[in-house]
Amino acid sequence: MQDTLLLRMRQAGWFDLLVFFLVLAIILVGLGVAGLIQYNVQMSQMAEDLTEFEIRQNLGMLALRRGSFLNIGQIALVAVLLGFALLALSSYLQDKVSLQTKKNLGRLRVVMQYVVALVVTLIMLFPIYWMIISSLKTSTELLYPVPTLWPREFQWQNFPNVLNRAPFVRYLFNTLVSTFFVMLGQVVLGVLAAYGFAKGKFKGQNVLFLLVLGALMVPIQVTFVPIYVMISRLGWINSFPGLIVPNLVSAYFIFMLRQAFKSVDESYLDAGRVDGLGRIGLIWHVLVPMTKPTLITISIITFISGWNSYFWPKMVATRDEFRTIAVGVTRLRQTFAGMETANYNEIMAGAVMAIIPIVLLFLVLQKYIMTGMSKAAMK
């Protein structure tokens, strides 16, 4: 009986999620206990005449956060145990209730899933909502001790002020140009490289692909010094080639397309060869149409990544003529009305204008993103 109940619980969709939160709760409680021990040890070694501020400065991170870790961990632990109890009760009563009751429980489960999904969605969208309403407030209202969830008076002039304060249109143009050519280069070079790794047969193929995968683990902060020196010697500082050329190849793009190309059966390529297609013809007329969702998805991701790129444009573009939108938003951090108040409302207005193209692009092409990611993950 107990084995059957446990099996039913494990087959439920909530079991793995509850196990994850149980582990997380145990970790938090463990950190809280470790912080409590650290607090007691450090307090016994401190002088008695220290102020509260000096004590806090000398305490370790776990000791300072011990209360938060313990409280959150205990709350999470109680919630998980309650969830396990409800799951066990639901599994136990599965064969003991009527068909109508099962239907009602099923509806209740669906409603709870929608409620949880709605709560998670609201939590994720709140920063965007806060950015939008902050862009419509005055700088004084943004500094109220109690934040307002709705502007007391809409300040639509914040958006024209952004355009007057910095060459924002130029930033948008630079971002569009650099992002377009980066995406174009990554598509062309990525398709050719992915074809070689997926359908080609040459010596050292697997070793070279491992090197490509290794490039995924190396952040730009590690390699930007030699790249910057090279770009500087070529005279590409404050130029479009300096923004574009170092980003023309993406290891992630090659990896995802290789997985998509490998899922295409070899018989389609054989049929294309019979019809007289060469390598470029096979790529253009066979592989690209059959992996279109994945190709569109990766192109969109590349566009979004290029649009939001900050670190490299910050390094290579030092003049407004070549700054991108992500760097341009930081240029709006100019104080006004004294040095104590900053124009955060205008900064938020600039951020809103910067994300509008990305949001529109995602809303229009979101079906391709979901389809492409699922197809690429199947291989």
Q: Three-class SS string for 217-241?
A: CCCHHHHHHHHHHHHHHCCCCCCHH
Q: Is residue 324, in this structure, part of any structural domain at all? A: yes
Neighbours of 126 (CB within 10 A): 11
pLDDT value of position 145: 79
Query: Do 83 and 216 belong together in one domain?
Result: no
pLDDT value of position 277: 84
Query: Do 43 and 171 belong together in one domain?
Result: no
* Residue indicated by tokens 């992915």: 194
Q: Is residue 105, in this structure, part of any structural domain at all? A: no
Which amino acid belongs to residue 25? A
Q: Is residue 18, in this structure, part of any structural domain at all? A: yes
The two tokens of residue 32 are 């809280």
Residue burial 130-144, b: 16+ Cβ < 10 Å; e: rest = eeebbbbbebebbee
Q: Is residue 202, in this structure, part of any structural domain at all? A: yes
Which of 46, 76, 96 marks a domain boundary? 96
Which amino acid belongs to residue 312? W
Helix/strand/coil for 264: coil
Query: Do 371 and 228 belong together in one domain?
Result: yes
Query: Do 32 and 179 belong together in one domain?
Result: no
Q: Number of structural domains, the chain? A: 2
Q: Which residues, at least 6 apart from 184, have a Cβ–Cβ distance to it below 8 Å?
A: none
- Give the pTM: 0.67
Q: Is residue 20, in this structure, part of any structural domain at all? A: yes
Query: Do 227 and 325 belong together in one domain?
Result: yes
Query: Do 174 and 85 belong together in one domain?
Result: no
pLDDT value of position 181: 92
Nearest C-alpha neighbor of 292 from the set 189, 300, 281: 300
Cα–Cα distance measured from residue 170 to residue 325, given in angstroms and rounded to the nearest whole number? 9
Dihedral sign, CA of 153, 157, 159, 162? negative
Query: Do 57 and 192 belong together in one domain?
Result: no
Q: Which domain holds residue 304?
A: 161-378
- Counting every residue, how long is the chain? 379
How far CA 145 is from CA of 132, 148, 299, in Å, comes to: 19, 9, 44
Which amino acid belongs to residue 372? G
Q: Identify whether the C-beta of residue 267 lies closer than 8 Å to the C-beta of residue 199.
A: no
Query: Do 166 and 241 belong together in one domain?
Result: yes
- The pLDDT tens digits along the chain (379 residues) read 444 545 555 555 567 777 788 888 888 888 888 888 888 888 887 777 777 777 777 777 788 888 888 888 888 888 888 877 777 766 666 655 555 666 676 777 788 888 888 988 898 889 889 888 988 888 778 778 788 888 888 888 888 888 887 788 888 899 999 999 999 999 999 899 998 888 888 888 888 888 888 888 887 778 888 888 999 999 889 889 998 998 888 888 888 888 888 888 888 888 888 888 888 888 888 888 888 888 888 888 888 888 888 888 888 888 888 888 888 887 777 545 444 456 778 888 888 888 888 888 878 777 766 665 555 555 5
Cα–Cα distance measured from residue 350 to residue 324, given in angstroms and rounded to the nearest whole number? 12
Cα–Cα distance measured from residue 4 to residue 335, given in angstroms and rounded to the nearest whole number? 67
Query: Do 353 and 258 belong together in one domain?
Result: yes
Q: Is residue 153, in this structure, part of any structural domain at all? A: no
Supply the CATH number for residue 168's domain. 1.10.3720.10
Which of 50, 79, 96 marks a domain boundary? 96
Q: Is residue 64, in this structure, part of any structural domain at all? A: yes
pLDDT value of position 91: 63
pLDDT value of position 340: 47
Q: Identify whether the C-beta of residue 73 lies closer than 8 Å to the C-beta of residue 26.
A: yes
Residue-by-residue DSSP string for 142-159? HT-SS--SS-SS--TTHH
Cα–Cα distance measured from residue 333 to residue 50, given in angstroms and rounded to the nearest whole number? 39
Q: Which residues, at least 6 apart from 361, have a Cβ–Cβ distance to it below 8 Å?
A: 300, 303, 304
Query: Do 61 and 208 belong together in one domain?
Result: no
Q: Is residue 149, in this structure, part of any structural domain at all? A: no
Which of 96, 112, 135 marks a domain boundary? 96
Cα–Cα distance measured from residue 139 to residue 224, given in angstroms and rounded to the nearest whole number? 37
